[in-house]
Amino acid sequence: MNIRALLRAAGLLGVCSSLLHAAEPPPRTSLANSQVNFTVPDQPYVVLRRGDLEVVVVDNRAVDDAVLPGHRAGYSGLASLKHTRQPRNLFVPAYAGLNFEHILDGTAQARTVLFEPRHAPMELRVIDRHTVELYQAPTPYYGLESCHRFVLRADGVLELTFECIPRRATWRHGYLLLFWASYIDRPESLDIHFVGRTEGETGPPHWIRGVTPKHGVDATHRPLGDDRELTHIEPFPLELPFAFSRHRYTEPWYFGACRGLAFVQVFRARDGIRLTQSPSGGGAGCPAWDFQWIIPDCKVNRRYQFVMHALYTPWPEGADEPRAREELRQRVKTLMELE
């Protein structure tokens, strides 16, 4: 008799399955690991350098100095991303990339609540010269405690781990939807690229060019098979989260090109990320290349986690693009297999 049959005979199969489902992932940040040593810097940002990349991680305070001129309050994450081949910041200088933007539960709220991560104080935690965290205590309305860990790896990959713990049952419809935005500074093309199918197609997955004609139209691309219905008020006060396109991605990553470099965002399939874009999120000519993550069936004091990776890598133009797409696809595939 195998283990599964023994558990069934003892009436424990359901119990064990529930325990396995409820198990939290191993901690990867200081949120749940008190053994992590860190220092809190005096200034609101930390500069990470490794290989070809320079990354400036910022909390949500305003900065105006030689490193971050004119950076506005409310925008956290990557205030600047530069490459040795392109000294200009990828992101709109006043804003940021991988910026923690929204905590949503489908209800109508004041804008200070809709954009709560922008306003609740954050703490920078320096782990080592290539690793920094952004900690946010339980937010005033939703009571979500969280920690971002940014690691600039030796292989040129920027790794982001996000962990959070809902501390109060504040959500109305059983779920929380969290949203990150990256405001790109005047790329040649506003569009994004991913592999998938358009609804109604039956052929093999193929490259799709994500084009949104205006803010809030054809904005969000779900994974194939993601039929989760999230209860929400209509019309919802934010245009992007529920403005679904007819495209479905089959590989959990996408990229956009800007000034000879590709900005690539790679996710784990099991996290069920939804890809989102706006042609003008950062202002005229400055698209937002975003994503959202859903926590279904939220539980108080349970820790949740997702992991993503970002690449900022040279990108050709013209006739070499098809080959470059496939080469990038193979690099991403290797990255996902290692996760």
Rounded distance between C-alpha atoms, residue 318 and residue 141, angstroms: 49
Rounded distance between C-alpha atoms, residue 118 and residue 60, angstroms: 6
Sign of the torsion angle spanned by Cα atoms 124, 257, 323, 202: positive
List strand residue ranges (DSSP E) for the chain, in order.
Answer: 45-50, 53-58, 77-83, 99-104, 123-128, 131-136, 144-152, 158-166, 176-181, 192-198, 206-210, 220-223, 244-249, 253-258, 261-267, 274-278, 288-295, 304-314
Count the neighbouring beta carbons within 10 Å of the beta carbon of residue 103. 27
Cβ 135 vs Cβ 30: under 8 Å? yes
Q: What is the pLDDT of residues 237-263, one digit of tens each?
A: 999 999 999 999 999 999 999 999 999
Give me the architecture of the 41-338 domain, per CATH: Distorted Sandwich (2.70)
pLDDT of residue 13 exceeding 60, the answer is: no
Count the neighbouring beta carbons within 10 Å of the beta carbon of residue 284. 7
Q: How big is the chain by its Cα radius of gyration, in Å?
A: 20
**pLDDT of amino acid 91:** 99
What end-to-end distance do the CA atoms of the chain give, in Å? 34
What average pLDDT does the segment 40-66 reach?
98
What average pLDDT does the segment 318-331 reach?
92
Q: How confident is the model at residue 214 (pLDDT cuts 50, 70, 90)?
A: very high
Rounded distance between C-alpha atoms, residue 336 and residue 314, angstroms: 20
Of 102, 45, 69, 89, the residue nearest 232 (C-alpha): 102
pLDDT of residue 285 exceeding 50, the answer is: yes
What's the pTM value of the predicted model, to 2 decimals? 0.92
What average pLDDT does the segment 188-214 reach?
96
pLDDT of residue 118 exceeding 70, the answer is: yes
Of 122, 242, 121, 267, the residue nearest 173 (C-alpha): 242
- Mark out the alpha helices in 51-119 (DSSP H runs): 111-114, 116-119
Q: How confident is the model at residue 316 (pLDDT cuts 50, 70, 90)?
A: very high
What average pLDDT does the segment 113-126 reach?
99
Domain residue spans of the chain: 41-338
Q: Of all residues in the chain, what percent carry a pLDDT higher than 70?
A: 94
**pLDDT of amino acid 22:** 55
Q: 253-258 and 206-210: which strand pairing?
A: unpaired
pLDDT of residue 33 exceeding 80, the answer is: yes
